[in-house]
Structure 1
Amino acid sequence: MTQDAATRQRLQFLVRVVQRESDHLALTDRRLYQQPFTSARAIALQDNPDEAERVEAFVGRFGRLQDTLGDKLLPAYLSAEGESPGTALDRLDRAEQLGLLSSADEWLAMRKLRNQMVHEYIEDPNILADALNNGHRFVPILLDVAEALTQAIGRRGWLQ
């Protein structure tokens, strides 16, 4: 299947965005998790603006990468393949079938966590620490999906 120039440019642009977002998330993840994130660290955020900014950056970058992958790059890739992107659940199921992600259910769990971290101000330090630690555990999965999609697009010759 040949792709028109606009489709290729869109895919190339989204891959560049995903690569940049992946790099930023990985950097923030390394900086935030040099030591375990505990409820004591969560309590100390009010007195440590640098740490609070790192937490905010982590949450924002986690959510942004997941949004870009699931809501932009994956549908664009499926469309370029000649498939109807369908609903979010359809896209996730298809991505799992194609081996682009290991589990649609795991992605939905990440989405729920992302929504909790982004849309709810978490006051309980234990809940905040748990949410952030769960996000940290999901980072490699997000980065793997980004890499799998990038490689799939590259194999089709759409990155040239």
Structure 2
Amino acid sequence: MKTPSSQAVRLEFLVRVTEKECRHLLETDGRLFGNLFTIEDAQRIEADPVLTERLDAFVSRFARLQDTVGDKLLPALLHLLAEKTGAAIDNLDKAEKLGLIVSADVWVEMRQLRNQMVHEYIEDLAVLTSALRAGHAFVPVLVAAARRCVAETQQRLNASGV
């Protein structure tokens, strides 16, 4: 099956963006979590602009990669696979069945964490530390899902002669 040119161009763009976002998230994750992020680290945020920027970069890159994969690449890939797309949870269920993500429930949990980190200024340092550690723990899961979607997309595009 030949993939229409505009669809292929969009998918190739999403593959490039996703790969770049994976690299950037992993780099920031490595810098922020070189050691276990502690409440003492969180106490330094106001006084340490480098730490503040790393924290902001981590939260932003985590959210951006999840948005790119979940809201853009995954629906486009499902369309390429001739799967009917629908509500986000339906797309996640299909992605789980296809082995693209580990679990729709885990993805929803990551999404809730993403929303907490992005939309709430967390003043309780214990809650902030816990949220950041949870985000850090999800990085390998998120990156692996992104890379599975990229690999499947590339394989399908190559098979279609694009």
TM-score (structure 1 length as normaliser): 0.97
Checking the alignment, whether the CA contact within 8 Å between 2:2 and 2:161 is kept in structure 1 is no
**Amino acid across the alignment from 1:93:** D
How far off its partner does 1:10 sit?
A: 0.4
Residue 59 (structure 1) aligns with? 59
What's the counterpart of residue 86 of structure 2? Answer: 86
SS in structure 1 at match of 2:44: helix
| Distance in 2 separating the partners of 1:153 and 1:48 | 41
Which amino acid in structure 1 is aligned with residue 70 of structure 2?
Answer: G
Q: Which residue matches 1:95?
A: 95
Letter in 1 for 2:48: N
Cα distance change on mapping 1:102 and 1:38 into 2, 3 Å: same
* Equivalenced residues, count: 160
State the match for 1:37 in structure 2.
37
Once the two structures are superposed, the pairs formed by residues 1-160 of structure 1 within 5 Å of their partners are: 1-156=1-156, 157=158, 160=162
| 1:45 match: secondary structure | coil
CA displacement, residues 48-68 of structure 1 (integer Å, 9 cap, x when unaligned): 010010000000000000000
Secondary structure of 1:71's match? helix
d(CA) in 2 for partners of 1:122 and 1:111? Answer: 17
Letter in 2 for 1:20: K
Alpha-carbon distance in 2 for matches of 1:33, 1:146: 21
Deviation track 1:7-63 (CA, whole Å, cap 9, x = no partner) reads: 000000000000011000000000001111011111110110100100000000000
Equivalent pair of 1:12/1:159 in contact (CA under 8 Å): no
Q: Which moved more, 1:75-84 or 1:123-132?
A: 75-84
- Let me know the Cα RMSD of the aligned residues: 1.1
For residues 154 and 9 of structure 1, what CA distance do their matches in structure 2 show? 12
Residue identity opposite 1:73 in structure 2: L
Q: How high is the TM-score relative to the length of structure 2?
A: 0.96
Deviation (angstroms), 1:159:
8.8
Shift of 1:119: 0.1
Task: Mark the CA change 1:34 to 1:159 in structure 2 (over 3 Å): closer, same or farther.
Answer: farther
Name the amino acid aligned to 2:11: L
Deviation for aligned residue 1:129 = 0.4
